[in-house]
Amino acid sequence: MSFENLAGVQGDPSAKGSGNAATDKFKHEAVKSDTSKERANAIYTDLLAAIAEVAHKHQITYDEYRVLKNWMIQVGEYGEWPLWLDVFVEHEIEKINYDRHNYTGTKGSIEGPYYVENAPELPWNGEMPMREQDKAATPLIFKGQVTDVDGNGLAGATIELWHADEEGYYSQFAPGIPEWNLRGTIVTNENGEYEIKTLQPAPYQIPSDGPTGWFIDSYGGHPWRPAHLHLKVKNPGYREITTQLYFQGGDYTDNDVATAVKPELLLDPQTDDQGNNVVNYGFALDKED
């Protein structure tokens, strides 16, 4: 493993720009947990034991240790901790916190680093905010119903939708994109139904010109995620769902760098006679427990 290019990559706007934007956003979130000293002690003890086991198993050299230290410093300087953690760790945390309950509703997936709250509400049957250049992509008409787990429609539920543009950039995390581009909040009608027009997203490459990219290169991996829509679905009294939807047969659905695809989350849009991709997806919300 070597990161000889450490000095040369400084100044590239992409990894550093989106990394620092994600870090700045995260720093403004109120982050706290009520972890007891006993629990912290148990976690710390097991964590150090796991690190020791790996270090011994692979007979880690001093050069490797120094490269790791240098890399971790760079991850911080590039602001890439939210990116790296959400790609390599979040999916396990998501699974643990789903499996702990007896949920039967729609499966969750990782939030990732690019959610922004309070996206503007869009009119029923409306269109996601997008630029002229975004309209070169195939339109995607995304519709369906939000229900409880028994199939009863939930009126007034909200669906927050956000996704990348054709080039893989998220508004507010890359320069030059209107603030709420490809972000919106949809409210279900009296039957719990929703319908929105957006564009068919493309596979997404996580910023690969910074420390997360060097990390992936170092073990011969790839930086791609399958094309995806991000969603948060909320209705008072019900479990809030943070999830993603993917496209059946799309590239990287079976080797997502972030390990966040589940079979229940694959869409299969059909083309209508105007050339739109059209897809129905039902969200089932569990009661809050």
Please tell me what DSSP assigns to residue 265: G
Smallest gap, in angstroms, from Cβ of residue 102 to Fe ion? 29
How many alpha carbons fall within 13 Å on the CB side of residue 280?
Answer: 5
Query: Please, which residues have CB within 8 angstroms of residue 98's CB and are 6 or more apart in sequence?
Result: 107, 108
Report if residue 112 touches Fe ion, rule: CB under 5 A: yes
**Among 112, 139, 184, 211, which residue sits at the site for ligand DHB (rule: CB under 6 A)?**
112
Nearer to Fe ion, 3 or 115 (CB): 115
Nearer to ligand DHB, 145 or 228 (CB): 228
Report if residue 87 touches ligand DHB, rule: CB under 6 A: yes
Smallest gap, in angstroms, from Cβ of residue 226 to ligand DHB? 10
Smallest gap, in angstroms, from Cβ of residue 255 to Fe ion? 16
- Of the candidates 268, 266, 269, 265, the residue with the CA atom closest to the CA atom of residue 277: 269
Report if residue 129 touches ligand DHB, rule: CB under 6 A: no
Residues linked to residue 141 through DSSP beta bridges, in sequence order:
197, 278
Smallest gap, in angstroms, from Cβ of residue 128 to ligand DHB? 16
Smallest gap, in angstroms, from Cβ of residue 142 to ligand DHB? 17
Q: Which residue has the CB atom at the shortest distance from Fe ion?
A: 112
Stretch that binds Fe ion, among 53-61, 105-113, 248-256, 273-281 (CB under 5 A): 105-113
Q: Which structure tokens are listed for 190?
A: 């009296």
> What distances in angstroms separate CA 169 from CA 1, 14, 98, 129, 279, one per listed residue?
29, 9, 29, 14, 23
Report if residue 206 touches ligand DHB, rule: CB under 6 A: yes
Report if residue 141 touches ligand DHB, rule: CB under 6 A: no
For residue 289, count other CB atoms closer than 10 A to its CB.
Answer: 7
Q: What is the rounded distance in angstroms from the CA atom of residue 98 to the CA atom of residue 180?
A: 30
**Among 17, 78, 86, 148, which residue sits at the site for ligand DHB (rule: CB under 6 A)?**
86
Angle at 27 between CA 9 and CA 214, to 5 degrees: 25
Region 249-268 residues binding ligand DHB, contact defined as CB under 6 A = 258
Max CA distance (Å), the chain = 64
**Out of Fe ion, ligand DHB, none, which partner does residue 258 contact, by CB within 5 to 8 A per kind?**
ligand DHB
